Amino acid sequence: MSPMPALLATVALLSLSAAPAVAAAPVQSQGAPQNAVQSGGQSATRAPASAEVRAAYDRMDALARSVFWSGEHDLNPADPVAAIKLAQALRELGRYDQAAQTAEALLALQPANLDALLELGRAHIGRGQAFYGIAPLEKARDLAPRDWRPYSLLGVAYEQVRRFDDARAAWNQALVLSPDNPDVLTNAATAALTHGDAPGAEALLRRAAAQPTASSKVRQTLAMTLGLQGKMGEAEQILRRELPPELADQNLAWLAARNTPAAPQPAVASAPSPSDTACTWSSLKGG
C-alpha cells in the first residue's frame, strides 16, 4: 500500500510527528536562557528565563522548544510549567518515553497536577500504550469533573484499548461540558474512520469545521475524509486553501491512488483500514 501522506499522518490534535522540523535559531534576547560565562570559563548559575523569553520560545518548533525547556527544567525540576512544556515538546518529536518520564517525575513531586496527568496520558497514547494512560486520565477526570479535556483523551485511550462503548460515553460527556467542541468531534471522527465509517466521520467533521474555533487541521482532516469517499472536488478545494501547493499535491495524489480501483473491482472508494488511520491518534487535539 502507498505510504501515508504527510497530512494524514499529522491531522487533528497536537501532532506527534516522529520527524522534527528544523529548529529555529535560538532567541537572542535579554534574559535568554543561556548560562553566563565567568572569566575563568566556568558557567555561573542563572535565573529562569523571563516570561517574555518563554513566550518567544513557545512560538518555535518542537525541537527548539525541547532544548529550551530542557534547560529550564534542569534549573528547577519542580517548575511545573517547564516540566509540562518539555514533556509536550518531547511528545511532538515522537520521544514518547521521555515525555512520559518527564511527566511522571513532576507527578512524583505534585501528584495532583492536572496538566501533568493529561500530558502523561497523551504520551502513553502517542506511544501506542494507551492502557497505561487510562489511570492518570481517570485521575485527572476525577480531579476536574467539569473539564472536557480528560474525557476527550479518555475517549481516545478507551478506543485504543477497544473499550468502544466507554470511548463513546467519554466523548459524549466531553461534548456535554463543551458543546460542539471541534477537538472532541475530531477525535470521535478519527474513531469512526478507524472503524471504516467514513460517512459518519464526515458528519462529525463537518460539524467540527463549522465551529469558529476549528483549527486548520480539523479542516484538513475533513478534506481527507471526503477524498477517501471519492469526493475529490471538495477535498481539493479545502486542501488548496489549507496547505502549501506541494503538500496539497502530495495528499491529492495519495487520495487519487486510493480511489483508483484494482481491476476488476468497481470504481468505488474503499473505507480506510485501521493501518491507514492509526497514526491519526497522534493528533490528540485539545485533550
Place of cell 504520551: 123
pLDDT band, very low/low/confident/very high, at 287 (cuts 50, 70, 90) = low
Map residue 43 onto helix, strand or coil: strand
Place of cell 511532538: 92
Instruction: Give 62-119 pLDDT, tens digit per residue.
Output: 999 999 999 999 999 999 999 999 999 999 999 999 999 999 999 999 999 999 999 9
The x, y and z cell numbers of residue 264, run together, are 476488476
How much is the pTM?
Answer: 0.73
14-18, 233-237, 239-243: range with lowest mean pLDDT = 14-18
Rounded distance between C-alpha atoms, residue 85 and residue 219, angstroms: 26
Query: What interhelical angle do 131-143 and 114-126 show, nearest 10?
Result: 160
Predicted local distance difference test score (pLDDT) of residue 218:
96
Instruction: Give 176-199 pLDDT, tens digit per residue.
Output: 999 999 999 999 998 999 889 999
pLDDT band, very low/low/confident/very high, at 46 (cuts 50, 70, 90) = confident
Q: Is the dihedral of CA 47, 50, 51, 54 positive or negative?
A: negative
Residue 47's identity, in one-letter code, is A
Query: Exposed e or buried b for every residue in 59-92, given b needs 16+ CB within 10 A?
Result: ebebbbbbbbbbbbbebeeebeebbbbbbbbbbb
Predicted local distance difference test score (pLDDT) of residue 44:
52
Phi, psi of 43 (to 5 degrees): -80, 140
pLDDT(245) > 70: yes
pLDDT band, very low/low/confident/very high, at 6 (cuts 50, 70, 90) = very low
Residue 276's identity, in one-letter code, is D
User: Is the backbone peptide bond immediately before 264 cis, with ω within 30 degrees of 0?
Assistant: yes
